[in-house]
Amino acid sequence: MGRNSCRRKRVVDRNIGIFEIVNGLLTILLIILGGLVSWTMLKYDFLNFRGINYVIFAIILFFIFLAGILVIKKKAKIFNVIMLVILNITLVFSYMQFRAAIGLFDDINDKAMISEYTMSVVVLKNDEASKLEDLKGEEISAPVSSDDENINKLMKEIRDKGYQSLELAETKNYISSYEQLISGTSRAMVFNSSFEGLIRGKYADFRENTKKIFEYKITKKIDLETSANIGDTFNVYVSGIDTFGEVESVSRSDVNIIMTINKKTGKILLTTTPRDSYVPIADDGDNEYDKLTHAGLYGVESSIHTLENLYGIKLDYYARLNFTSFLKLIDLVGGVDVYNDQTFISEYGGYSFEPGMVHLDADKALGFVRERYNLLEGDNDRGKNQEKVIAAIVKKMTTKDTLKNYRAVIKELSESIQTNMPIETVMGLANEQLSSNRDYNISSQALSGTGSLGLPSYAMPGANLYMMQIDEQSLKQVKNNIKEVLEEK
Q: Reduced to 3 states, what is the DSSP secondary structure of residue 300?
A: helix
Q: List the one residue out of 339, 407, 346 whose CA is nearest residue 372.
A: 346
Using a 10 angstrom Cβ sphere, with 0-12 exposed, 13-18 middle and 19 or more buried, the burial of residue 2 is exposed
Q: Which residues contact 68 (CB under 8 A, 6 or more apart)?
A: 27
Confidence of residue 343 (pLDDT cuts 50, 70, 90): very high
Q: Is the per-residue pLDDT at 244 higher than 60? A: no
Which is more confidently placed, 246 or 463?
A: 463
In percent, the amount of the chain with pLDDT more than 90 equals: 43
Average pLDDT over residues 203-228: 85
Confidence of residue 12 (pLDDT cuts 50, 70, 90): very low
Query: Is 233-487 assigned to CATH 3.40.630.190?
Result: yes
Confidence of residue 323 (pLDDT cuts 50, 70, 90): confident
Q: Which CATH architecture has domain 114-221?
A: 3-Layer(aba) Sandwich (3.40)
Average pLDDT over residues 43-70: 90
Which is more confidently placed, 186 or 2?
A: 186
Average pLDDT over residues 318-331: 81
Residue 9: CB atoms within 10 A of its CB come to: 11
What is the Cα–Cα distance from 431 to 384, expressed in whole angstroms? 32
pLDDT reported for residue 10: 47
Confidence of residue 405 (pLDDT cuts 50, 70, 90): low
pLDDT tens per residue, range 111-141: 778 888 899 999 999 999 999 999 988 889 9
Average pLDDT over residues 147-166: 88
pLDDT tens per residue, range 18-44: 777 888 899 999 999 999 999 999 998
Chain-centre distance of CA 419, in angstroms? 5
Average pLDDT over residues 72-93: 90
Q: What pTM was computed for the model? A: 0.81
pLDDT reported for residue 209: 95
C-alpha dihedral sign at 415, 419, 424, 425:
negative
What is the Cα–Cα distance from 316 to 258, expressed in whole angstroms? 10
Worst-scoring range by mean pLDDT, 160-174, 244-258, 315-329, 434-448?
244-258
pLDDT reported for residue 13: 46
pLDDT reported for residue 245: 56
Using a 10 angstrom Cβ sphere, with 0-12 exposed, 13-18 middle and 19 or more buried, the burial of residue 478 is buried
pLDDT reported for residue 395: 77
Residue 232: CB atoms within 10 A of its CB come to: 13
Q: Which residues of 442-468 are buried (b: 16+ CB within 10 A; e: fewer)?
A: beebebbbeeeeeeebbbbeebebbbb
Confidence of residue 404 (pLDDT cuts 50, 70, 90): low
Confidence of residue 303 (pLDDT cuts 50, 70, 90): very high
pLDDT reported for residue 5: 55
Do strands 253-262 and 267-272 pair parallel, antiparallel, or not at all (unpaired)? Answer: antiparallel
pLDDT tens per residue, range 360-386: 999 999 899 888 789 887 767 877 888
Average pLDDT over residues 416-443: 80
Q: Which residues contact 335 (CB under 8 A, 6 or more apart)?
A: 359, 360, 361
pLDDT reported for residue 78: 85
In percent, the amount of the chain with pLDDT more than 70 equals: 90
Which is more confidently placed, 387 or 248?
A: 387
Q: Is the per-residue pLDDT at 242 higher than 70? A: no
Q: Is the per-residue pLDDT at 406 higher than 70? A: no
DSSP code per residue over 226-293: PP-S-TTEEEEEEEEES-SS-TTB---EEEEEEEEEETTTTEEEEEE--TTBEEEEPGGGTTEEEEGG
Mean pLDDT of the chain: 86
pLDDT reported for residue 83: 93
Average pLDDT over residues 272-289: 92
